[in-house]
Amino acid sequence: MDFTAMPKLTRMVVLARRPAIRPKTLFFLALFLMSQCLAPRTATAGVSLYDQLATPSQPFFLKLRTHRGPLALGGVRASFWINDQKIGNVLTGGDGYGFLKYQATATGTFTLTAKTTAGDAEAQLRIISPSAPVVILEAEVLLWQMHVIDRGASAVEVLERIAADFELAYLCGPTSRSAMGPLISSRRLPAAVVLVGKDRTQFERLAKRGVRIFAVVGSARLVASARGFGQHHLSFDQSAQADRVRNWEDIIKQLQPEDQAP
């Protein structure tokens, strides 16, 4: 658009109509930039290993990706380790991904390690009982709401109360994966696996692993993807697909059985 050809008053009107950048957009942009700062440099080969949540009742796939910066690095030999025990080898494909089928034999939290010629990486492997109810939290939305409505340690206290009764898992998008772990830790949120991917496939995958999804807390888009999975769908957004929550205490109230609600 040629602004110089317009009368001065017309130019002022057009510029005034340009939408301002919303604070929420700036917040998510900051998350993206932080993730890029924490990601490996372009010239450096590396490996990304993903947190996993599963039960002993079903086999599932461990996943890693070898890369040179953002570019896939295929044909890399890698070995998977759980704590100090080697459980198998893989060769990454042209897309850089390597998968190893695994079935747990015991519940608990384990250190998952990938050792490759491109580098090593660690992640968390959480194996839970099929009867354990899981509350899934969208990490980006959670951190945004802490920025907007947090009052002192309110969010931390509420999530700790939830963690006392439920298994927790965070969901994040691929672009914010590198930043999410450090951010969750710095805000003193309860430790839990950080799963990458926020579409319906994620909930289908967890259900096939025998994970009992009890509640999903996140954006309207996320809870819409989770319909059919879990008993409670909660969002700070207005949505026909979810029950609205306006503060942290609302989450506790929604998760309580009716006979225990205040």
**CATH code, 244:** 3.40.50.1000
Tell whether 149 and 250 lie within a shared domain: yes
Domain membership flag for residue 17: no
Tell whether 85 and 143 lie within a shared domain: no
Tell whether 138 and 122 lie within a shared domain: no
Tell whether 117 and 179 lie within a shared domain: no
Tens digit of pLDDT per residue, the chain (262 long)?
A: 454 554 554 444 444 444 555 555 555 555 545 554 554 443 467 999 999 999 998 999 999 999 998 899 999 999 999 999 999 999 999 999 999 999 999 999 999 999 998 899 999 999 999 999 999 999 999 998 887 775 545 889 999 999 999 999 999 998 888 889 899 999 899 999 999 999 999 999 999 999 999 999 999 999 999 999 999 999 998 888 899 988 888 999 999 865 454 4
Tell whether 115 and 205 lie within a shared domain: no
Long-range Cβ contacts of 186-192 (<8 Å, 24+ apart): 187/143, 187/146, 187/155, 187/156, 188/153, 188/156, 189/142, 189/155, 189/156, 189/159, 190/159, 190/160, 190/162, 190/163, 192/126, 192/163, 192/167, 192/168
pLDDT of residue 67: 94
Long-range Cβ contacts of 28-34 (<8 Å, 24+ apart): 28/140, 28/144, 28/176, 31/140, 31/143, 31/175, 31/176, 31/179, 31/183, 32/175, 32/176, 34/176, 34/178, 34/179, 34/183
Domain membership flag for residue 20: no
127, 153, 168 - which closes a domain: 127
Domain membership flag for residue 79: yes
Domain membership flag for residue 212: yes
**What is the domain range of residue 79?**
45-127
pTM, to two decimals: 0.81
**How open is the CA angle 204-171-159, to the nearest 5 degrees?**
120
Domain membership flag for residue 5: no
Domain membership flag for residue 38: no
127, 162, 180 - which closes a domain: 127
Domain membership flag for residue 7: no
pLDDT of residue 25: 54
pLDDT of residue 262: 44
Domain membership flag for residue 29: no
> In the chain, how many domains are there?
2
Tell whether 122 and 138 lie within a shared domain: no
